Chain A
Amino acid sequence: MTTIKQLGIITLLSLGVALLIYKWHPKSPALYLVAGHLRSDEVILSKVLEWEKSKRVVWIDARKGTDYRQGHVKGAFLLNEQEDFFALLEPIWSEIQNLSDLPFVVYCGSEACATSRKVANRLRDSIGIAEVYILSGGDEVLRNAGLIN
């Protein structure tokens, strides 16, 4: 019984210290997904549409080829990880290499889709494109806005 009491006290003390650190730590993360809380490389659709008024935006569709062929944002290029990224890139390279000064916006099939981030990292780190963003909300927000039919 004494052991259980001691364990309980240790657990309570640990929880108390953890809560205090969480409350006062300057970089404590959100405990859940906060609407509108974007990472530094994420962008919301309204911002992209605002950019499009003054300059071209390069859309990258990171979903499966079958989804892309069913409907995509006008002018979007297909680039994903599950097919061969470089085999997809090579035929569109002559266009891409002349667009490197523009913002690239990557979207995929869901809010939590990791594919967008992987494709964005490749574009940035392996290809050398300076400005790459991930569309918050994925293709759902594009469908809702009527940009994917």
Chain B
Amino acid sequence: MRHYFILISLLFFMSLMAFAELKFGNKEIEIKSKPSDEVVSFVFPFKNVGKESVSVIDVNLTCSCLSATTDKESYSPGEEGYLKAIFSIGSFTGIQRKSMTVISQDEGKEKVRDSLLAILTIPDVVTIEPELIKWNVGEEPVEKVFTFKVPYVDPIKITNVTCTREGFDVSVVKKKEGREYEIKLKPQATSKPMLGMIKIETDSKLKKYARKLAFFSIARKRR
């Protein structure tokens, strides 16, 4: 039993010596973005702990929302560097976990792959529930409601609401100024299928929240 343990330990340490040339301080970074952020940078520092120069050949990304570069292409023994990954927030919300793989190589040796993970928490500034209001063709044209809420610290007021379709009654009910509103929508008829959009304008100074969209549809029943 003891011999097996020594053998396994030896193989484990040999594999570490053979492959762990770039040593990352942290392979997983978690950041919480601000509401005004459009991009967020993740910096992964590392050090070449091997005895040869190491070149970073490529960084494989799992999302087109990411771009990543290292500060140099090649690192001498003992040299420190970093990989900077930039996350474009776009329309992402909630917690986003995006992985990337750094491919590096010593001269004449096998390629080494290091997996890194960027975790971004994007705060909810405005929520609209439901995302989509639906009627079926021929259904009674009853009123349905979007609830607009502001869970973030700074309040946001609705200043105007418009509908891209004619034939709909739209009204806004203030439940709590700057915090919660109801947007009521009632079709005059549901005789034909259509899509529509509600444009909600607000007093937010942040461009991303100055205008929010909500959607509705009158759809044929699917078999």
Contacts and interface: CB of A to CB of B under 8 A. Distances in A.
Contacts of B222: 130
Contacts of A136: none
Given A1-B1, A64-B64, A109-B64, A125 B132 contact: yes
Contacts of A129: 195
Contacts of A90: 197, 199, 211, 213
A59 B76 CA distance: 49
Contact of A127 (B195, B211, B212): B195
A89 interface: yes
A77 B217 CA distance: 20
Contacts of B193: 100-101
A84 B213 contact: no
A1 B219 CA distance: 68
Interface string B120-162: 0000000000011010000000000000000000000000000
Interface in A69-98: 80-87, 89-90, 93-94, 96-97
Contacts of A114: 62-63
B90 A128 contact: no
B27 interface: no
B63 to A, nearest CB: 7
A89 to B, nearest CB: 7
A97 B196 contact: yes
A93 B64 CA distance: 24
Contacts, number: 77
A4 interface: yes
Interface string A6-45: 0000000000000000000000000000000000000000
A128 B213 contact: no
Contact of B215 (A63, A82, A94, A126): A126
B194 interface: yes
B63 A97 contact: no
A100 B65 contact: no
Interface string B83-114: 00000101110000000000000000000000
Interface of B: 1, 4, 62-65, 88, 90-92, 131-132, 134, 164-165, 193-197, 199, 208, 211-213, 215-217, 219-220, 222
5 contacts: A80-B90, A84-B90, A97-B164, A127-B195, A127-B215
Interface of A: 1, 3-4, 63-64, 80-87, 89-90, 93-94, 96-97, 100-101, 108-109, 113-115, 125-130
